[in-house]
Chain A
């Protein structure tokens, strides 16, 4: 639609439509292009705060403060930002369980708040920290319920279930009560539940939170496959930068209810001028390591922290340190997303020169 990496995704979506047959596109939906359209979206919460005995102050918190973006069919987009930035509020509005205070919103041509139930048949939602599965009952019972709830034709249900069970390794778990599943197993179970009805868009909220490395890899690999093979549009909220790096070509950063960045992940690092850190363990305490292109940010006994631009490769630096210093161990730390965003936010404010924070909402949770 607008130079975002949607072109390739749209090709995938065509495949998906063929598979989906008649259900692929509803009447009134714009042909091709934007699947999710958000224009000037706002959500304002009134907050009452006690300011003294019997005194209350009414204030407004702008959780989402004029966000605009579009997501094409088949795109996989990361939606990131610190806690309380407005991510979940946006997702809640996209799915229709919160009514926007302002702006325009369309998902598959549907106004979510007005036709929540109709939209619900076409979307899938997965929360990392919550489950849609029936806690006391075997996993398969929840799937049977999905079968009825989404009115999935029998043949399609069986086909999808078989495929998901195989891809997510659930065959031994189908008859296990959900409360007995491990977090990773439950997460896979939840993802399968969200995909049984072939949703056109999948919203994932922290899908890898709390999972071990193996489970994380498994979930990511599966999501990549769903996106590539079924052309499912995926909107992913996460704190885990690796989720984004491994899955999304496009990332949107939100902070204080505003869209700070929308584009490729590499660009985000540039925009934030982020730095990676080389943690070096030397044989003994030495004066700060001197390697061009790096600066020592911290020294603690024989351990030193060297910062270098994220855009630069770590390999030559590692070689150089190893050649010139008595090296015992070393590791590279990626910048965390909070740091990148915090830096970016500070820079934007500086650019505008509004230190007083005119654009900064008074209170954000």
Chain B
């Protein structure tokens, strides 16, 4: 109970921390909207040539684009979530302060990241999505149940997203400099989450591999849940399995890191 209040307070802090950067948020909204417009026209051209590519019709393809833009910052697909702060703290040794606290390191950062994601969803996601839905025909559900399922898929996707980024961030304990890792994370994230193209549009074998990887839990799965293209049970099971696996792995790596690696600096 006490812990729940602590992590709620941490999440609230994460939300407010990202809310302080108003200019960055405005710039992000603009970028995502413009990018969405470009991508929508590209997709429409593609779907003209190949109707029902990946099993989507044109309205679904358009919806997919705007969902991707709306969730881009929320899932921190190219990085820029709390893993960035965490890597910096490991490099400078400030991580020592986090370790002095009577709190769990992983839960602390997860809570911060969920707070951040909620802000990014509201602050950066809603406007591009609304613009897209106003300007283009989209395929959005009318029943509340699907929307509720979508919210759950988002939440699970966020935990998976955090799980991936947390593992990458912890590598800084050994590598010290997180630049290369961040780049790898960004490229993998953009491609494997289905940001560039829906994963079901890829050729069978390759597409199946991509859809089995944890990144798929981020854009692809929530989009399919929202557009009624996936069974809820399968989608949630897939996301939850990866969430548990990644958080578990994060715990193991964290234990190894804090036990064996020297905290930097005097």
Contact = CB atoms under 8 A, between A and B. Distances in A.
Q: Do these two chains really belong together in a complex?
A: yes
Given A120-B102, A144-B9, A148-B5, A127 B97 contact: yes
Contacts of A130: 92-94, 96-97
Interface string B230-266: 0000000000000000000000000000110011001
B17 A134 contact: yes
Contacts of B263: 92, 97-98
Contacts of B97: 125, 127, 130-132
Interface string A309-345: 0000000000000000000000000000000000000
A147 B93 CA distance: 25
A84 B20 contact: no
Nearest to B259: A99
Considering residues A84, A87, A98, A149, which has the most beta carbons from chain B within 10 angstroms of its beta carbon? A149
The main secondary structure of chain A at its interface with chain B is mixed
A141 B102 contact: no
A95 B100 contact: yes
A292 to B, nearest CB: 44
A117 B102 contact: yes
Nearest to A138: B16
B28 interface: no
A145 B16 CA distance: 13
A97 B264 CA distance: 12
Contact of A137 (B16, B92, B101, B259): B16
Contacts of A118: 102
B100 A120 contact: yes
B10 interface: yes
Interface residues of A, number: 34
A132 B262 CA distance: 20
Nearest to B7: A148
Given A97-B96, A125-B100, A149-B6, A83 B266 contact: yes
B13 interface: yes
Contacts of A117: 102-103
A229 B13 CA distance: 33
B99 interface: yes
Given A92-B263, A120-B102, A130-B96, A137 B5 contact: no
B93 A151 contact: no
A136 interface: yes
A258 to B, nearest CB: 17
Nearest to A125: B100
A120 B101 contact: yes
Contacts of B102: 117-118, 120-121, 149-150
Interface of A: 45, 83-84, 87-88, 92, 95, 97-99, 116-118, 120-121, 123, 125, 127, 130-132, 134-137, 141, 144-145, 147-151, 177
16 contacts: A45-B262, A97-B263, A120-B100, A121-B102, A123-B100, A130-B94, A131-B97, A132-B101, A137-B17, A141-B16, A145-B10, A148-B2, A148-B5, A148-B8, A149-B6, A150-B102
Given A97-B100, A118-B102, 18 more contacts: A83-B266, A87-B266, A92-B96, A97-B99, A97-B258, A98-B263, A127-B96, A130-B92, A130-B96, A136-B16, A137-B17, A137-B20, A141-B16, A148-B8, A148-B9, A149-B101, A150-B102, A177-B20
